[in-house]
Structure 1
Amino acid sequence: MLSIEKLGKRRGSRVILADVDLRAEPGKVTAFLGPNGAGKSSTLRILLGLDRPTSGTALVHGRAYRSLRDPLRTVGSMLDGPGAHPSRTARAHLAWIARSNGIPRRRVAEVLEQVGLAAHGRGRVGGFSLGMGRRLGLAAALLGEPEALVLDEPVNGLDAEGVRRLRGLVRAHAADGGTVLLSSHLMGEVAAVADDVVVISGGRVVAAGPLSDVTRGHASLEDAYFALTGYERAEGA
Structure 2
Amino acid sequence: MLSISGLSKRHGSRTVLSDVTFHALPGRVTGFLGPNGAGKSSTLRILLGLDRATAGTALIDGRPYRELPDPLRTVGSMLDGSGAHRSRTARNHLAWVARAGGLPKRRVTEVLDQVGLAGSGRTRVGRFSLGMGQRLGLAAALLGNPAALVLDEPVNGLDPEGIRWIRGLLRAHADAGGTVLLSSHLMSEVAEIADDLVVIAGGRIAAAGPLDQVIAGHATLEEAFFALTADRSEQRC
Q: What range describes the TM-score normalised by the shorter chain of this pair?
A: over 0.9
In the alignment, which residue of structure 1 is the partner of 2:155? 155
What's the CA shift string for 1:3-45, capped at 9, x where partnerless? 0000000001101000000100000000000000000000000
Q: For 2:147 and 2:92, how far apart are their aligned partners in 1?
A: 24
Matching residue of 1:184? 184
Secondary structure in 2 matching 1:15:
strand
Q: What does 1:99-118 correspond to in 2, within 5 Å?
A: 99-118=99-118
In structure 2, the partner of 1:135 is 135
Tell me the percent identity: 73
Equivalences for residues 211-222 of structure 1 within 5 A: 211-222=211-222
Does the CA contact (< 8 Å) of 2:24 and 2:181 recur in 1?
Answer: yes
Structure 1 counterpart of 2:183, one-letter code: S
Matched-pair contact (CA < 8 Å) for 2:9–2:17: yes
Secondary structure (helix, strand or coil) at the match of 1:57 reads: strand
Could you tell me which amino acid in structure 2 is paired with residue 19 of structure 1?
D
- Whether the 8 Å contact between 2:82 and 2:134 is mirrored in structure 1 is yes
- 1:109 positional shift: 1.2
Matched, 1:63 2:63: yes
Deviation per CA, 1:87-135, whole angstroms, max 9, x where unpaired?
Answer: 1110110011111111111111111111111111110001111111111
| Corresponding residue number in structure 1 for 2:23 | 23
TM-score (norm 1): 0.96
TM superposition shift of 1:70: 2.5
Q: How many aligned residue pairs are there?
A: 234
Q: TM-score, normalised by structure 2?
A: 0.96
Counterpart of 1:169 in structure 2 is 169
Unaligned runs of 5+ in 2: none
Please report the RMSD computed on the Cα atoms of aligned residues, expressed in angstroms: 1.3
Q: Moved runs in structure 1, 4+ residues, more than 6 A?
A: 231-234
Partner of 1:82: 82
